[in-house]
Structure 1
């Protein structure tokens, strides 16, 4: 069986790196992975993760999703421009009060997270249509379904991705193309660490005192606890992504974190949209002690299950 060409964006770290390494290491050698990143100086971590596969099932290329020329040059460098699976992963985050964010910062998030995907598809989709074959996999987020406090602009970019793909999926069916949205919840990566650190350094002088305190003493204070309790690893998301890619009939949407699913289910339980907003408000501002206790309980359960699993592996 011939290897399928997979083009992945944002592979210098995190989810993109994990997906690239996982597919390149496939025992059955079903994939030829073109792992791309904006800055090739940041390829060392990927090289370490999959060094024996470089030049075989893995090639590293430069691609900036904010540049049409960069995308075109990368695709043209692939033999016959053959991209059978596209994994759109490159993205950037932004947290904090909107009063403290510049329009330029907001535009950069939209340019990367939304228009980056659009640029990729403008270059790759026509070839897939001609062949009437291909799978487009987008690393979205549960925040493309449900907005979260102080993630206004990031959520907006993912909502845009979800609406765009939901519209495009109808057309894709006509050309026998598959389109899948992977929707992780919290994922413990360098991406999230940088978002948190940028939030810690944010100048909050543009916000009123109550909003600034809410961001610092409620959001940032609980940030690490949420990730430690509910967070997945990038490798876990990569496993989910590989299963979707290998599926004969891949779903349009796939959430990777069952711990987070009850949160997004609220969105569909109330057509008026009040239930999730009211629930999150009460969790954050009225029942914060119960919320934190629940996070600690989940963290304990996950630690104990992991400990049991590790002991089991060592014993065997």
Structure 2
């Protein structure tokens, strides 16, 4: 197993979690999915140059009124959430197709199935990767290469809590007062309640990913939180977009 991260100076927690597997069955390498050269360098260090299972987990979040985020900031989100995943898939595909074997797991989101208010840009990046992989999955079956989209709902992490705290203090320049009030007084409290009552732990999501990897015939879409599975049905049952 090769675990990757952009900044190796922050690898202490990962090393602790790895325990006795570190240096034996698990190694840690630097990888920036936003850099072609970094992807190439990482792939060059893979023993045999072959990846059997790719788990695309790199991602960045964003929440807030769309008026307050620049197009350049939007591009950065897409660079990680969409193009980062595409870079990695392109890097592993030739060997997977050549060996007629492989599994690509992409950590998406239920927001790749249904847009949520004030998550416009994040949802758009997840919709993009869902569409890309849905198109790719069919043609890869002839090569015995599977694609799986793992779609968690809210996940309780330090990152999410920190993000919520930061946006609650933000001023959102360029956004009208009514929208800011709606975001801070309605959306944020409701979102916090959803995360605390319905959110999964990172461990629960990890277990779901392991099950997908171990499956002999992996599903294309896997929602890790059963409470959010009805979203798929609602999307197609609601052409008005009101739900």
* TM-score in same-fold range (> 0.5): yes
Q: CA deviation at 1:87?
A: 0.1
Aligned with residue 96 of structure 1, among 42, 54, 64: 64
Is 1:267 the counterpart of 2:231 in the alignment?
Answer: no
Counterpart in the other structure of 1:14: none
Q: Structure 1: which 5+ runs fail to align?
A: 1-32, 280-316
Counterpart in the other structure of 1:49: 17
Q: CA deviation at 1:124?
A: 1.1
After TM superposition, the structure 1 stretch with the greater mean CA deviation from structure 2, 161-170 or 42-51, is 42-51
**Alpha-carbon contact 1:230-1:260 (below 8 Å) kept:** no
Counterpart in the other structure of 1:217: 185
Counterpart in the other structure of 1:80: 48
Counterpart in the other structure of 2:116: 148
Higher relative CO (CA 8 A, sep ≥ 6), structure 1 or 2?
A: 2
Is 1:177 the counterpart of 2:121 in the alignment?
Answer: no
SS for the counterpart of 2:60 is coil
Aligned with residue 165 of structure 2, among 192, 197, 203: 197
- Give the Cα separation in 2 of the matches to 1:263 and 1:218: 21
| Backbone CA RMSD of aligned residues | 1.2
Q: CA deviation at 1:193?
A: 2.2
Q: Deviations over 1:14-39 (max 9, x none)?
A: xxxxxxxxxxxxxxxxxxx1000000
- Give the Cα separation in 2 of the matches to 1:177 and 1:238: 22
5 Å-filtered alignment, 1:280-299, equals none
**Alpha-carbon contact 1:132-1:175 (below 8 Å) kept:** yes
Cα gap change, 1:176 to 1:95, in 2 (>3 Å): same
Q: Deviations over 1:110-169 (max 9, x none)?
A: 000000011111211111111111000000000000000100000000000000000001
After TM superposition, the structure 1 stretch with the greater mean CA deviation from structure 2, 214-223 or 179-188, is 214-223
Q: CA deviation at 1:52?
A: 1.5
Equivalences, count: 243
Is 1:162 the counterpart of 2:130 in the alignment?
Answer: yes
After TM superposition, the structure 1 stretch with the greater mean CA deviation from structure 2, 191-200 or 89-98, is 191-200
Greater Cα radius of gyration, structure 1 or 2: 1
- Give the Cα separation in 1 of the matches to 2:122 and 2:2: 27
SS for the counterpart of 1:64 is coil
Q: CA deviation at 1:265?
A: 2.5
Q: Deviations over 1:231-268 (max 9, x none)?
A: 00110011111011000000000000011223343112
Is 1:67 the counterpart of 2:38 in the alignment?
Answer: no
- Give the Cα separation in 1 of the matches to 2:232 and 2:176: 30
Q: TM-score normalized by structure 1?
A: 0.75
- Give the Cα separation in 1 of the matches to 2:232 and 2:194: 16
Q: CA deviation at 1:194?
A: 3.3
- Give the Cα separation in 1 of the matches to 2:32 and 2:162: 19
Moved over 6 A (4+): none
